């Protein structure tokens, strides 16, 4: 039992990074699996391996190489308490930005708007249903945590991010979508 912990009392998980990571991983894996089912051809090759075109930037090796087109890049914001429904188990939220762009599939690039529209459509489809089970992906096989994560539908806007390239490259069309992911952190009992 941790020092200072009253006997028989539930101990709130003070290390919030773990449940936050569970929610992040569960969300991105859900999107990845859904994209693989929706459009198996929407793949990218990273570090020599092919995978569905969902990339969580903070999980990749830092590289100065240009980001890939027709690929969804996920950036996470900090966790916050969205609703203190319970002092021990608040409803937590994290904002997520999903960026994607296209140069088109023909040399002239005249279909880049259509491709971007298709990426919009696929994003909306893989974001529904707006719930997924929460898993611990740090162990094998993955552990079902029994709880879930849920989120808002993507709101596509023109907010600039560090990944916006259309400012200096007119051949690129780009969208950024905002999604807020909600989850309850797990609780340990002693």
Partner 1 sequence: MSNVVVRPAMVAVSRRVRAYFAPFDRTANRPAIFDPGKHGAFLLDAPPSPWIDLGEIEKFQRTSGTEVQAMIAGTTGTPAGQFRRALDAKVEFEFREWGKLQMALAGGSEHMNVLALDPDASARPSGGIPVGAVGVLDGSTTNEIVLGAGAVDAFAVGDMVAVDLDYAQQTGWVGTGVASAYVKDPADVQRDRDYVRRVTFNVGRVAGKTATSLLLAQPLAGGIPLAGASVQKVVAFVDREGGSFFQDWSALFVHEEESGGRVCLYYPRLSPSRASGGATGKFQAEARSAIQEPLAVINLHASFLAMPYVDENDGETVLCYRSYFPAEMSAVY
Residue ranges that bind partner 1, judged by CB under 8 A: 1, 10, 85-86, 89, 91, 130-131, 145-148, 150, 182, 184, 186-190
Handedness of CA 18, 72, 38, 118 (dihedral sign): positive
Q: Which DSSP string corresponds to 21-82? A: HHHHHHHHHHHHHHHHHH-TT-EEEETTEEEESEEEGGGSPP--SPPPSS-EEEEEEEEEEE
State both tokens at 44.
Answer: 């990218």
| H or E element at residue 144 | strand 143-151
Q: Which is nearer to partner 1, 52 or 185 (CB)?
A: 185
Closest contact distance (angstroms) between CB of 8 and partner 1 is 12
Closest contact distance (angstroms) between CB of 154 and partner 1 is 15
Q: Which is nearer to partner 1, 137 or 150 (CB)?
A: 150
For residue 45, list its beta bridge partners. Answer: 50
Closest contact distance (angstroms) between CB of 143 and partner 1 is 9
Q: Which is nearer to partner 1, 2 or 78 (CB)?
A: 2
Other Cβ atoms less than 10 A from the Cβ of 122: the count is 19
Q: Which is nearer to partner 1, 96 or 119 (CB)?
A: 96
Closest contact distance (angstroms) between CB of 178 and partner 1 is 17
């Amino acid at each position: 039992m941790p020092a200072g912990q009253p006997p028989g009392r539930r101990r709130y998980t003070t290390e919030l990074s773990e449940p936050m990571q569970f929610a992040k991983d569960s969300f991105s894996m859900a999107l990845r699996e859904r994209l693989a089912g929706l459009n198996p051809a929407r793949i990218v090759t990273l570090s020599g391996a092919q995978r569905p075109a969902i990339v969580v930037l903070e999980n990749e090796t830092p590289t100065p190489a240009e980001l890939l087109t027709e690929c969804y890049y996920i950036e996470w914001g900090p966790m916050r308490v969205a609703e203190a429904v319970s002092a021990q188990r608040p409803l937590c939220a994290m904002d997520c930005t999903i960026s994607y762009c296209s140069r088109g599939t023909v040399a002239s690039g005249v279909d880049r708007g259509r491709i971007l529209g298709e990426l919009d459509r696929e994003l909306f489809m893989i974001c529904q249903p707006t719930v997924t089970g929460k898993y611990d992906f740090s162990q094998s096989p993955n552990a079902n945590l029994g709880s879930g994560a849920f989120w808002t539908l993507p709101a596509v806007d023109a907010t600039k991010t560090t990944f916006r390239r259309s400012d200096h490259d007119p051949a690129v069309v780009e969208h950024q979508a905002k999604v807020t992911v909600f989850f309850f952190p797990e609780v340990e009992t002693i």
